[in-house]
Chain A
Amino acid sequence: MTGTGIGAPVRRKEDQRFITGAGRYTDDLSRPGQAHAYFLRSPHAHAKILSIDTAAARAMPGVVAILTGDDLAADKIGGLICGWMIHSKDGSPMKAGPHPALAQGKVRYVGDHVAVVIADTYAQARDAAEAIEVAYEVLPAVVDARAAQKAGAPQVHDVADDNTVFRWHLGDKASTDAAFARAAHVTKIDLVNNRLVPNPMEPRAAVGEYDPGNESYTLFTTSQNPHVARLVLSAFIGVAPEHKLRVIAPDVGGGFGSKIFIYAEETVCVWAARKVGRPVRWTSDRTEAFLSDAHGRDHATHAELAMDENGKIIGLRAQTIANLGAYLSTFSSSVPTYLYAPLLSGSYDIPAIYAEVDGVYTNTAPVDAYRGAGRPEATFVVERLVEVAARELGMDPAKFRKRNYVKRFPHQTPVIMTYDAGDYGASMDKALELADYKGFSRRKRESARRGKLRGIGFSSYIEACGIAPSQAVGSLGAGVGLWESAEVRVNPTGSIEVLTGSHSHGQGHETTFAQLVCDRLGVPIENVIIVHGDTDKVQFGMGTYGSRSGAVGMSAIAKAIDKVIVKGKKVAAHVLEAAEADIEFKDGKFTVAGTDRGVGFADVALQAYIAHKFSGQDLEPGLKEGAFYDPTNFTFPAGVHICELEIDPDTGVTTIERWTAVDDFGVIINPMIVEGQVHGGIAQGVGQALHEGAIYDESGQLVTASFMDYRMPRAADLPSFQVGMTVTPCPSNPLGIKGCGEAGAIAAPAAVMNAITDALGHEDIAMPATPQAVWRAAQKNAAMRVAAE
């Protein structure tokens, strides 16, 4: 194979246009006659809307229209949906309150959409919005999920008593309780998984357009899954029929999950475009992004781990309260349930697990999937528990983990998952070596000499990716199937267009997917282009999230390529005047087995289209094949991350000194891109552990609504990472790929917090471990030392 096939560190084809400013993002589009939308948002976390007076605003210069929830209702536009049904323990369906794209009677969080002003310019729309008079009856608000469940708390939605959307559980309570009853040691912890604001570099944007001639709509939007957006907007919200709605997600500058969902703004842009007879565009500013992009995480968990007298884990139980925000976002109900609790076995052989999860409404922005989605939360619980347990038992945390690892595959956990392949011990051994674990105590002494506290922390994560097979997720409540589609179009010149239902918004698909084509068809990488993100070009697709594009999206492409080869052999048989069964395809060439007679791939493509060598009755002309691919199982990337850090007890500043990541992502298509994904993931995980945290005050105002207060991770916060790989190919897809997009963000928080608590000598610190929090904890550490002396 050439240097551009599977396994080659090919430079990203798309970067040339991105780094030269030639990318085409939604906000770069300019449509003839376009008008600008500005959303008037609620300044209150919870209020009744008594009246909205738009008279003065309508008279302002440039105003085209002002629309409210009443107009939506009059046009029978449905509410936004949550596409994953969760049933409570008692069998009752989750209690989903209404979620109109523009508020109807009530606002439920700061940033909730009250009205939209459409005007000739953005400034005019914004000016007019200031002239809208809204009479609110402000209601008490609740922002903390635990507080929201207490008696007397303000009720966010009438349908949900105690603000509780569901009381869900997974696993066998009786056998788990029995394991705890006979345990030699039980470790208990309380954890908060802090709320995060996704902050992709490109804020959300939408342009809606209506063509009265064809009665058809086009939506350009910042989406990770344009087909799902089209399906939801047509089948559920009802703004346009599916076949008359084209959704285009052009270049998208990062998503991290926040662009999976179907939001109010794009819904309104499509709907309003027809109403005003002009394209309607909206681009979020950064403040709006903080307020209204779906946030991530926000769990409070009590967890316990039971061990027998040999330090073997025999049971785990967890109670989690998940803050879902003011409305159920598109996949919000699945994140703290099926994307979370099934991972509570971690990489360990735990015979009994029982988890209870309450999903709770509060007067905060909706919470949904954010890089890792449920799996970082699970890993944090498991890896903090395991670390604390090892310390309590006086065992080396690496040894304790190795003792409890799953060692035989396939392995059925008590919480749904069947782990198919892995070698966790190999990852741990490699990580220990790369991290020079043996030298740690020397480095710790050296730090102590400089007055610094050094700590080391492990995170031995596992995740479930692909979010498929469709039957499996359907049985768990998913409203859609989670397969993927692909079409491989070979042109007469032998160049190739690959249409994929995956969507690239930073992952490098234009490169990695092309590498697969090069590998299989032997064509130069320049001759391959990857087409995605347009529902008029790609028939259907499920989009990109859950580290699924490699395992599921590329598998669909591989399947289509196989069909192309089959067809190509038929064509070649005619060209070479040989029996089809005798044709072999290798290195871009069709040959007659056992002879030196052959024909190149491009020639076969041409022959397929000119169709001079075969009759149309024997063989259809053309060379184009499609495939839908649904895997046989989730994929299970796993690995070991080791964080070593130093704390300055005088200031509380934490410096990460060393980071070792040994991941098993199965077969790797492009090691450079995979490493990049690991780096970015670790940065985000470190951000969660040390820096980031969305804070609402008691009245429901978002205190961290700008970068002046919301602390993002920066390059200078991070050391150079030591990235190592182990490979056990994934048996559930033809390429052996497991997925790598979320691993870093899943692994990192526990590694950091385990290292901090190791350095401090006690467990009493929560994420984000800001300098202030670490300083306080270090004070306690000093006090403990004094007490001990």
Chain B
Amino acid sequence: MYAFTYHKPSSVRQAAAMLAKNEDAKLLAGGHTLLPTMKQRLASPSALIDLGAMPELKGIERKGRSVVIGAMTRHGEVAESAVVREAIPGLAELAELIGDPHVRHRGTIGGSVANNDPSADYPAALLALDATVITNKRKIAADEFFQGLFVTALEEGEIVTKVSFPVAQKAAYAKFRNPASRYALAGVFVAKRGSDVRVAVTGASENGVFRWTAAEEALKARFTAKSLEGMAPSPDGMIGDIHADSAYRAHLVGVMARRAVQAATSR
């Protein structure tokens, strides 16, 4: 780690002002991505602006037909939230599958979404549930928000404050863990709302989280795991690494999609 200064502002406005003044500053949420990168000397921000002291970024609320989660909400809090379990149980189950207890009690939804790791879990939920990312400047639909590996629609100095998830009729997540890191090697979130079905895949594509439209069409015809029998996305463009080559990954996406639908239809 290189030397840096540390700031803990008490409001989003203050944090934004600090960010604007200091180009090399970085926001610090749970620190579970940022701090290891700094320890390995792969990142060297001159200042860290800790988002941990802002009540406005915390909490989980049911607002009409949506569940709204503050950016600094830890994965563990989402996993255990009665509100989430009641409204979108698949989302709570996803949060419960992130990392291990240490990670779940530090990592935040805002950090995960802003980071857009191609193997992170939350992006699949946001995309499949048609969530909206709320920042200190605007609202961004999930379809526009995730723009490839570690790339999002966030602009310089923009801070994620909340994520709003519309409630679905049926939703579930199935994850095949990377055996070593436990990130998603193939994670599929399926959601059905009225006649609309969305299937989002994380961990698999070289371009990050994506919607698997062929599966969506098949499920719109009939929302049952059988509709996906024998289906898998093309291995072209899938990640290949020591844990899974692209063919195995593509196959796993098919298996996880069927298991997610199975879970969604059996509750």
Contact = CB atoms under 8 A, between A and B. Distances in A.
A117 B40 CA distance: 18
A709 B182 CA distance: 10
Nearest to B100: A714
Contact of A704 (B41, B176, B242, B251): B242
B180 A708 contact: yes
B181 A707 contact: yes
Interface string A143-173: 0000000000000000000000000000000
A771 B180 contact: no
B252 A651 contact: yes
A770 interface: yes
Contacts of B255: 650-651
A708 B255 CA distance: 24
Contact of A772 (B3, B41, B180, B248): B248
Nearest to A693: B242
B243 interface: yes
Interface string B35-48: 00000110000000
A703 interface: yes
Interface in A762-789: 770-772, 775-776
A711 B180 CA distance: 4
Contact of A770 (B1, B3, B243): B243
Interface in B243-262: 243-245, 248, 251-252, 255
A711 B179 contact: yes
Interface string A286-297: 010000000000
A767 to B, nearest CB: 14
B243 A123 contact: no
Interface string A690-703: 01000100000001
A25 interface: no
Interface residues of A, number: 22
A709 B181 CA distance: 6
B244 A772 contact: yes
A710 interface: yes
Contact of B245 (A123, A695, A709, A772): A772
A709 B179 CA distance: 8
B180 A775 contact: no
Contact of A691 (B176, B179, B181, B242): B179
Contacts of A772: 243-245, 248
Contact of A651 (B2, B176, B181): B176
Interface string A704-746: 1001111110000000000000000000000000000000000
Nearest to B183: A708
Contact of B180 (A126, A127, A709): A709
Interface string B224-245: 0000000000000000001111
A703 B248 contact: no
A126 to B, nearest CB: 8
User: Interface of chain B, helix or strand or loop or mixed?
Assistant: loop
Contacts of A708: 180-181
B251 A775 contact: yes
Interface string A103-142: 0000000000000000000010011000000000000000
Interface string A52-86: 00000000000000000000000000000000000
A61 B240 CA distance: 44
Interface string B1-29: 11100000000000000000000000000
Nearest to A776: B248
Nearest to A768: B179
A195 B91 CA distance: 39
Contacts of A691: 179
B242 A703 contact: yes
B251 A123 contact: no
Nearest to B249: A772
Interface string A748-769: 0000000000000000000000
A123 B44 CA distance: 14
Nearest to A127: B2
Interface string B100-128: 00000000000000000000000000000
A588 B251 CA distance: 70
Given A708-B180, A710-B180, A775 B242 contact: no
A650 B174 CA distance: 14
B1 A695 contact: no
Nearest to A707: B180
Contacts of B251: 775
Contact of A771 (B3, B179, B181, B242): B179
A426 B102 CA distance: 46
B248 to A, nearest CB: 5
Interface string B169-188: 00000001001110000000
B232 to A, nearest CB: 11
A127 B252 CA distance: 44
A613 B66 CA distance: 91
Contacts of A771: 176, 179, 244
Contacts of B242: 695, 703-704, 709
A654 to B, nearest CB: 11
A338 to B, nearest CB: 34
Interface centre among A695, A703, A704, A709 (most CB of B within 10 A): A709
Contacts of B179: 691, 711, 770-771
A713 to B, nearest CB: 10
A709 B40 CA distance: 16
Contacts of B243: 709, 770, 772
A629 B242 CA distance: 49
Contacts of A707: 180-181
Interface in A433-467: none
B212 to A, nearest CB: 18
A287 B40 CA distance: 9
Contacts of A770: 179, 243
Contacts of B41: 126
Interface in B158-175: none
B248 A775 contact: yes
A445 to B, nearest CB: 24
Nearest to A773: B248
Contacts of A709: 180-181, 242-243
Nearest to B258: A650
Interface centre among A704, A712, A772, A775 (most CB of B within 10 A): A772
A248 B194 CA distance: 71
Given A651-B176, A708-B180, 12 more contacts: A123-B2, A126-B41, A127-B2, A651-B255, A691-B179, A709-B243, A711-B180, A770-B179, A772-B243, A772-B245, A772-B248, A775-B251
18 contacts: A123-B1, A127-B2, A651-B176, A651-B252, A651-B255, A652-B248, A695-B242, A704-B242, A707-B180, A708-B181, A709-B242, A709-B243, A711-B180, A712-B180, A772-B243, A772-B245, A772-B248, A775-B251
The 6 closest A-B pairs by CB, nearest first: A711-B180, A708-B181, A711-B179, A650-B255, A772-B248, A709-B180
Interface of A: 123, 126-127, 287, 650-652, 691, 695, 703-704, 707-712, 770-772, 775-776
